[in-house]
Amino acid sequence: MGCLQSTYMRDLSNKAEEERYDQCWNTEVPVPELRGQQHRCPGRIDTKNRAEGLPRLATRSPAADHFGSTRTFRRRTQWCWRVAPTVSATGEIHDQIMLDGTYFNGWCVLIAYTGEKVIHWLWCDREKTASWTALIARIPAPRYAVVDGNGPLTTVIETLWPDTRIQRCFFHIRQAGHRHLTRNPSLPANQELLRFYQALPRVDSRDHAAAWLAAFASWEAKWSRFLKHRTRAKDAGARPAHVRRGQSWWYTHLRTRRAYFFLSRIIAKGHLFTWLDAADEGIELARTTNALEGGINAGIKGLLRAHRGLSEGHARRGVDWFLFERSHQAGTGWSLVGPEHWAPPKRVRAPREEPVGPVEYGTGFSWEDGIGIQKGWGGRSG
């Protein structure tokens, strides 16, 4: 590592220059540029970063401005892709952690976020029990968890973090209400039920929460018979898509029932107004995952959008650096670089296997093929 640092730092002639490079290092995300294809991914490199150390995806200057040609640039920064950023566990118990996953190109990255720093992340194919278990098992149980309502995630939290209180995201709750009831329902029961979804963000005290719950109980009593209306198969023409073959009846107001039971289950589990209990303890608990969705997930999508054309492996490495620079280890990327990253891997050719048995067709010379040098006229003897 010493020889590597001396190679990169040899042209830092004075302290002012060194401070300028350190400042440049700490201002952007240290991630390598890809192919130098300026029509797809136009540069965004700053090779003054530690005297040609880890270049950065976040800048927008053309690669050719630094090395004279994109081929030179690619050759001199290829080693950067071998540096894999990882975060070390601190063992700190956080007051709250937001958990969510975001997708791109068939991959899903699960992220744990405190609202200020990324704690950990994990690559997987989709949000499922095994994936969330692998991520949550690495993190000490926080006092509160803010989630979007993903089924496997809630199950894993209740299993691995039994003492952690869960707060459901109000934004995702409202989205579910619009999905079940639409934004402009026609039935009076649906109109009243939608107002409960819309009023949730305006609840700001225990008194308002108690009034909201009381009004919801009144709605349930008022429309309880409406929710139980049934449609008989003999009374209907075409069957709805959700009705199975041979089914003799089904609930008439299925969307209303889904919207109602969605809210009632959250209330029964105590995941709706958890933030009020946290406020009593002096903790300002987030009621949405907006900080994670709009700050981290949106940043990942913006990074990949700005760098279209990245290969799958390079895109994932770029996302790794993006998350690393938003963790507690931000700005320490240079400490991850070792001689094994700078030295190109040696290519070992596999031994050539000789064919077993006689050669049927070959490229070697043989007199028996009749292609040797011939003397005299053809057909002439002596």
Instruction: Give residue-wise pLDDT tens across range 183-207.
Output: 999 999 999 999 999 999 999 999 9
CA distances (Å), origin 202, targets 198, 205, 208, 211, 286: 8, 9, 9, 12, 14
Please list the residues that pair with 96 across neighbouring strands: 144
**Lowest mean pLDDT: which of 7-16, 262-271, 320-329, 355-364?**
7-16
pLDDT of residue 371 exceeding 60, the answer is yes
Q: What is the pLDDT of residues 44-61, one digit of tens each?
A: 334 344 434 444 565 545
pLDDT of residue 29 exceeding 50, the answer is no
Please tell me the predicted confidence (pLDDT) of residue 372: 64
Please tell me the predicted confidence (pLDDT) of residue 360: 67
CA–CA separation, 56 and 73 (whole Å): 13
Q: What mean pLDDT, rounded, does the chain reach?
A: 81
CA–CA separation, 21 and 170 (whole Å): 44
pTM over 0.95: no
CA–CA separation, 104 and 325 (whole Å): 20
Task: Indicate the pLDDT class of residue 366, thresholds 50, 70 and 90.
Answer: low
Please tell me the predicted confidence (pLDDT) of residue 375: 65
Residue with the larger pLDDT of the pair 151 and 189: 189
Token pair recorded at residue 248: 């003799």
CA–CA separation, 332 and 192 (whole Å): 54
pLDDT of residue 18 exceeding 60, the answer is no
Whether 46 contacts 61, CB under 8 Å: yes
Whether 181 contacts 198, CB under 8 Å: no
CA distances (Å), origin 197, targets 137, 167, 369: 33, 16, 89
pLDDT of residue 238 exceeding 80, the answer is no
Mean pLDDT across 333-348 = 80
Task: Indicate the pLDDT class of residue 232, thresholds 50, 70 and 90.
Answer: confident
Q: What angle do CA 181, 187, 191 make, to 5 degrees?
A: 60
- Quickly count: other Cβ atoms within 10 Å of residue 100's Cβ: 22
* Alpha-carbon dihedral sign for residues 217, 222, 228, 229: negative
Please tell me the predicted confidence (pLDDT) of residue 15: 42
Whether 30 contacts 341, CB under 8 Å: no
Please list the residues that pair with 111 across neighbouring strands: 100, 121
| Per-domain residue ranges of the chain | 2-87+328-342, 170-287
